[in-house]
């Protein structure tokens, strides 16, 4: 029998909705899509997140994603919103929000955010489920495109301090970008 590494693991055969370790002060981390980590097997992203949260004084984490479809490659994010299991993902995120009503949030999805037109709407839905009162952070600096960096970006050391992220301005900017891209096709 394999050792359980993470005490929270919510999934089905195609999706991972939540992975993490409970604590009194966990950090909610939002990536683009889940790779192959399970409750018995970590991956590079989760291993780095664990070191970053420890350095920043958190005692656990809950990893959620904009799209819950499992794939090690963001390019494999479904083209259709329906294939992302969005409503089921939101139910799991709402449960995390209720369990940890005061937890901070780390935005860490990288430039893959622009791969699908529906991702800004998904982010807005997630922010609404988490509530507008939370503190949001990002790692080191934003990408040239203005996105929060993925933890595996080469510029992100394990001892990265979290920086305040204005999620509401980010959403407003990206809703505008989305509406422009829809009208220019």
The pLDDT profile of the chain, 185 residues, written as one tens digit per residue, is 678 999 999 999 999 999 999 999 999 999 999 999 999 999 999 999 999 999 999 999 999 999 999 999 999 999 988 777 999 999 999 999 999 999 999 999 999 999 999 999 999 999 999 998 999 999 999 999 999 999 999 889 999 999 999 999 999 988 755 543 443 33
147 within domain boundaries: yes
142 within domain boundaries: yes
Is pTM beyond 0.85? Reply is yes
14 within domain boundaries: yes
Gyration radius of the chain's alpha carbons? 15
Q: Assign 85 to helix, strand or coil.
A: coil
2 within domain boundaries: no
3 within domain boundaries: no
The residue range of the domain holding 75 is: 8-183
1 within domain boundaries: no
Within 10 A of 107 (CB to CB), how many other CB atoms are there?
Answer: 24
The answer to whether 85 and 68 are in contact (CB under 8 A) is yes
Rounded distance between C-alpha atoms, residue 56 and residue 1, angstroms: 33
160: left (phi over 0), alpha (psi -120 to 50) or beta: beta
The answer to whether 110 and 147 are in contact (CB under 8 A) is yes
- Collect all residues with Cβ–Cβ distance below 8 Å to 49 and sequence separation of at least 6: 29, 61, 63, 106, 108, 151
165 within domain boundaries: yes
Determine how β-strand 162-164 pairs with β-strand 136-139: antiparallel
pLDDT for 49: 97
Rounded distance between C-alpha atoms, residue 103 and residue 86, angstroms: 22
150 within domain boundaries: yes
How many structural domains is the chain composed of?
1
Strand runs (DSSP E) across the chain, as ranges? Answer: 8-11, 16-21, 26-31, 60-65, 105-107, 136-139, 162-164
State the residue for tokens 């904009």.
66
Rounded distance between C-alpha atoms, residue 20 and residue 63, angstroms: 6
Backbone φ and ψ of 160, nearest 5°? -75, 130
């Amino acid at each position: 029998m394999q050792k359980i590494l993470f005490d929270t693991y919510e999934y089905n055969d195609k999706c991972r909705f939540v992975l993490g370790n409970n604590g009194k002060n966990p950090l909610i981390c939002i990536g683009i899509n889940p790779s192959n980590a399970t409750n018995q097997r970590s991956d590079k992203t989760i291993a780095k997140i664990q070191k970053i949260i420890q350095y920043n004084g958190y005692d656990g984490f809950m990893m959620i994603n904009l799209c819950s479809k499992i794939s090690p490659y963001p390019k494999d994010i479904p083209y259709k919103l329906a294939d992302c299991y969005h409503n089921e993902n939101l139910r799991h995120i709402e449960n995390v929000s209720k369990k940890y009503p005061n937890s901070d949030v780390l935005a860490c999805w990288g430039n893959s955010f622009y791969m699908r037109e529906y991702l800004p709407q998904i982010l807005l839905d997630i922010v609404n489920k988490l509530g507008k009162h939370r503190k949001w952070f990002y790692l080191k600096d934003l990408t040239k495109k203005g996105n929060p960096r993925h933890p595996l970006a080469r510029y992100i050391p394990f001892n990265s301090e979290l920086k305040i992220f204005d999620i509401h301005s980010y959403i407003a900017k990206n809703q505008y970008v989305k509406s422009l891209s829809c009208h220019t096709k």
